[in-house]
Chain A
Amino acid sequence: MHSGAKRALFIAILAVIGISLCSGFFNRYYLGVVIDIGINIILAVSLNLIVGHTGQFSLGHAGFMAVGAYIAAKCTLVLQPTCPPWAQPFLFIAALAIGGLVAAIVGFAVGVPTLQLRGDYLAIVTLGFGEIIRVFFQTTETFGAATGLAGIPHWTNFGWAWGCAALTVFTVACIVNSTYGRGFIAVHDDEIAASAVGINPVRYKVTAFVVGAFFAGVAGGLYAHHKQFISPGGFDFLKSIDILVMVILGGMGRTAGVIIAAILLTILPEALRGFAEYRMILYSLMIIIIMIARPQGLFNFGRAAQTKV
């Protein structure tokens, strides 16, 4: 199992590159949706590390995504004119990485003050951080203020999106499936017992936030170079909820379930486009019904429902 992970990643990357090279043959619209799925997988799996595995209510994930999106977009917009075409992929990687790193720093800034907080307090504070980030971008001219940033080059393709998704899944899965990684789940289950066996809850909570924020930032960067336009409104509380619903539906802590949920919840709004008026009503109704009927998530086969969150 342990060495299989690297092999799986390698194969996945190869497959992704292969499909990407053929992507010219696919319908543009469907390709766009598939790229959206890839980005949402990154978002959902990264949030899952924080919420599902480590048990921290985080309602501001869109904030990390925003940081990554804006920073990456700004890097590209500033440097692209002076960048020769052969170097563009490297610029893209650099932009994504920088976006992710800044998001990770913000994740650290969010994780540290919230260490003492539990449950609902934590939820409101993370929500608050998400809103503060949004307000920041909404008022800062360098980032386009309320009008946002436009003209971002369309560099995200299937390969990049799904390649990063594969990397995210690999990273989170590998981290958690190790003796070190059991620490996250221990902190989730019982912080006091975790301390009693030598696990430092602080370290794990902060690590979860930092790693989760990093990948959310990368997803944001990919998003920016896919839609070519970003504005503060797209990274609001509702976006955070969207991602959180994917995690909950997927069973909180079940990486495979969360991936399936991300796929389904990306396709669903597209499939319901015909019912535009009723789409969000149905979506919210669905959330309510699922939570009442099957709170352990749709894809949580065989694992006992969590007794403590």
Chain B
Amino acid sequence: MVYGVLRFINFAHGDVFMLGSFAGYFLSPLVNRFLAPQSYLGGLIVLALAMAICGGIGILIEFLAYRPLRKRPRLAVLITAIGVSLFIEYTCQNDHVFKAAPREFPNLIPSAIWHVGKLVIGSNQVIVFVVTILLLVLLTFIVQRTKVGIAMRAVAFNEQAAALMGINIDSIISFTFGLGSALAGAGGILFAMNYASIDPLMGVQTGLKAFVAAVLGGIGNLPGAALGGLILGVVETVASGIPGLSNYRDGIAYGILILILILRPAGLLGKWQPEKV
């Protein structure tokens, strides 16, 4: 989504994801002072707050680091994004901040286990499903049905024309970043709920995989990104289960990407934008 509007890959996205997890880590005990620990309401509040915090961080990053580079060559913005990502990672690893050691993420919701036939499903996993679908529906609604969404799509299509139509480009870009970062934060919470351990570098591989998924589906294309994410997730999980292949897990994501891009240079659902000559 951010790519669609801004035409650049935000390398710091994975780190906002990480910050979301940490936000949840610190917010959970706070929320537990007012509510019973491990309640759905508590979990929801933590999620909402973490998303808000991450949204704010995203807007801040955009304002400080990317806005000055709006008109600059693409590679420059890409490198800056990498710089921001490294900055966040190393600052968080510092002993005065989060320290590098992993921490255990608290249980946000009551843990329950259901048996459906041969499947064993935990409440944390179900929540991931439910929240993801809800957020995707919400996102689609915002992008397709609201005024802000139309403005976002206009800016994505043609920034100059959108400005001429009275759209405040700066606000829209900030909003897009905020929205994207909030979602990343949500991703961080959901991830932490299922994988329990969090550390400052957890966003690196996940962030890269997110781009792979987005590019796979045709970057700038929301349904494509969702499809890409799904495919990538399934393939990786299946590969981890196959002995002999599990070591190559990290490489598989990239392997698929390269394969798909060779066959379809614009991604699975992407539109090939031929250059007007």
- A121 in contact with B265 given A284-B83, A291-B79 (CB within 8 Å): yes
How far, in Å, is A192 (CB) from chain B's closest CB? 6
A306 touches B95 (CB 8 A): no
* A237: Cβ under 8 A from any B Cβ: yes
For chain B, the bracket of interface size reads 35 or more
* A185: Cβ under 8 A from any B Cβ: no
- List CB contacts (< 8 Å) of B222-263 with chain A: 247-248, 250-251, 253-255, 257-258, 261-262
* A248: Cβ under 8 A from any B Cβ: yes
B132 contact set on A, CB distance < 8 A: none
Contact among B69, B215, B255 for A292, CB-based, below 8 A: B69
Number of residue pairs A-B, CB distance < 8 angstroms: 125
Can you name the residue of chain A whose Cβ is closest to the Cβ of B68?
A292
Q: Kindly supply a per-residue 1/0 record for chain A positions 130-168, scoring 1 wherever the CB is within 8 Å of any chain B CB and 0 otherwise.
A: 011001101100000000000000000000000000000
Can you name the residue of chain B whose Cβ is closest to the Cβ of A278?
B94
How far, in Å, is B85 (CB) from chain A's closest CB? 8
* B177: Cβ under 8 A from any A Cβ: no
Can you name the residue of chain A whose Cβ is closest to the Cβ of B9?
A120
The interface residues of chain B, by DSSP majority, are classed as helix
* B211: Cβ under 8 A from any A Cβ: yes
How far, in Å, is A278 (CB) from chain B's closest CB? 7
A309 touches B75 (CB 8 A): yes
A238 contact set on B, CB distance < 8 A: 86
B8 contact set on A, CB distance < 8 A: 120
Can you name the residue of chain A whose Cβ is closest to the Cβ of B3?
A120
Contact among B85, B257, B275 for A125, CB-based, below 8 A: B257
A132 touches B255 (CB 8 A): yes
Can you name the residue of chain A whose Cβ is closest to the Cβ of B250?
A135
A292 touches B254 (CB 8 A): no
Contact among A125, A248, A292, A305 for B261, CB-based, below 8 A: A125
How far, in Å, is B56 (CB) from chain A's closest CB? 19
Can you name the residue of chain A whose Cβ is closest to the Cβ of B82?
A241
Which of B's residues lie within 8 Å of A, judged by CB?
3, 7-9, 65, 68-69, 72-80, 82-87, 89-91, 94-95, 204, 208, 211-212, 215, 219, 247-248, 250-251, 253-255, 257-258, 261-262, 265, 275, 277
Query: Besides A281-B91, A287-B82, 11 other CB < 8 A contacts?
Result: A113-B258, A120-B219, A131-B208, A135-B247, A138-B247, A192-B277, A241-B86, A277-B95, A284-B86, A292-B68, A305-B73
